Amino acid sequence: MHPVIRPAAPGDADAIARIYNHYVADTCVTFETEEVFAAEMAQRITDTLEMPLPWLVAEADGAIAGYAYAAKWKGRCAYRYSVETTVYLDPMCTGRGLGLPLYAALIDAVKTLGMRAAIGGIALPNAPSITLHERLGFRKVGHFEQVGFKQDRWIDVGYWQRLL
């Protein structure tokens, strides 16, 4: 499957929130615990694009099948060339080869902006996300034990980094 990858717009917020809220409610891959409504998601998209950092969507079969975006790694000025990268797929679209081209497009977009480092945080265990990051040249650089508590359990977080 060859997705159409394009910049996100606030009008994509309903579909993006639907995808994200699955991960909020049913998984530990995000540490958010409350549903994110479309208006809040539209504001997040707008804020990201105004930084300016990329927020991309992948369309497959005429619908948004996933999204990826970059955020500032930290607020201090010296970190300005580092971003945290994130990718989410509609749970009905995983395993179809959409994540790799979407995440690769995000990496290309942050390189174009002159970023030096991309950092991906992964709630562990999560073999598919680790595989995706490592296929794109990320390497594990850190592991924090039991830093999140969700779904009645403690969760480790690993960090993968790719120098651009």
Domain boundaries, the chain: 4-163
- Tell me the pLDDT tens digit for each residue of 31-73: 999 999 999 999 999 999 999 999 999 999 889 999 999 999 9
pTM of the model: 0.95
Q: How far apart are CA 3 and CA 63, in angstroms?
A: 10
Alpha-carbon distances, residue 162 vs 84, 117, 135, 159 (angstroms): 10, 6, 11, 10
Nearest to 66 by CA among 40, 94, 39: 94
Asked if omega into 52 is within 30° of 0 (cis), the reply is yes
CA 111 from chain center: how many Å? 16
**DSSP code at position 158:** E
Q: 95 falls in which pLDDT band (50, 70, 90)?
A: confident
- Tell me the pLDDT tens digit for each residue of 3-38: 899 999 999 999 999 999 999 999 999 999 999 999
**CATH H-level, domain 4-163: superfamily:** Gcn5-related N-acetyltransferase (GNAT) (3.40.630.30)
Alpha-carbon distances, residue 52 vs 28, 58, 69, 71, 72 (angstroms): 29, 19, 11, 10, 10
Maximum separation of any 2 CA atoms in the chain, in Å: 42
Percentages helix, strand, coil for the chain, rounded to the nearest 5? 35, 35, 30
